[in-house]
Structure 1
């Protein structure tokens, strides 16, 4: 997204904010317009999207920020009522804490140097 592109504030239609400042403005404007903020919900795909509650389901189906679960390596799809929930499976960790513990230096103690004496 272009940082200088102007976006319209969902809380006050008179506000035109640069895209680079938009997240900060959303927080501030939601605090200043709490009555309007109660009627808006945040999109699960893009936190910059604030949608009226009654339009939420339609927006989620059509959101341009929506990414297919396969992109994130989603695991099994769970059914809960009429909703499908995707269980995210992160990539396997490449860290080996046991190996790091063997080569780790002694813990820091204030006033004591761990440097080898030469």
Structure 2
């Protein structure tokens, strides 16, 4: 019997989000908004409403008033509505700058690759598909002559 031991990693449940409608539901963040749409249909009598700034924020009606005042996504809407009133967002600087003398727009110093010409110069077996039978026969005859150096009849 082999002494190899393999560890199989399970899902990382710390990255999952708990559904506001049913605490037994644990959803990946990438699927959370889709799940909220489906789950809200399953719980129509719950008194939950969505945040006007982010549809992934779902709270009870009583908590929503406080949430709207403190929502972290509210600043995005306010910056859009009143761009002159708020200080501008500083763009993130990139951590590096690469100096190079390459010019990707210049033409390459070599000729372009022609696969048809390469196949005709070297011994590559080709299969002419889509041609009528007479053209395929003529092609096979030419290829046989090219490979063997003698007539294929």
TM-score for the superposition, normalised by structure 1:
0.53
Pairwise CA RMSD: 2.1
- In structure 2, what is the equivalent of residue 57 of structure 1? 65
**Which of 46, 49, 63 is the equivalent residue of 1:41?**
49
- In structure 2, what is the equivalent of residue 10 of structure 1? 20
CA distance in 2, matches of 1:11, 1:42: 12
**Which of 13, 25, 28 is the equivalent residue of 2:35?**
25
Q: Name the one with the larger helix percent.
A: 2
- Answer with 1 or 2: which has the greater Rg: 2
Q: Name the one with the larger strand percent.
A: 1
Q: CA deviation at 1:68?
A: 5.4
Q: Structure 1: any 5+ residue segments left out of the alignment? A: 76-118
TM-score for the superposition, normalised by structure 2:
0.42
Provide the aligned length of Structure 1 versus Structure 2: 70
Classify 1:51/1:21 alpha carbon distance in 2 versus 1 (closer, same or farther; 3 Å). same
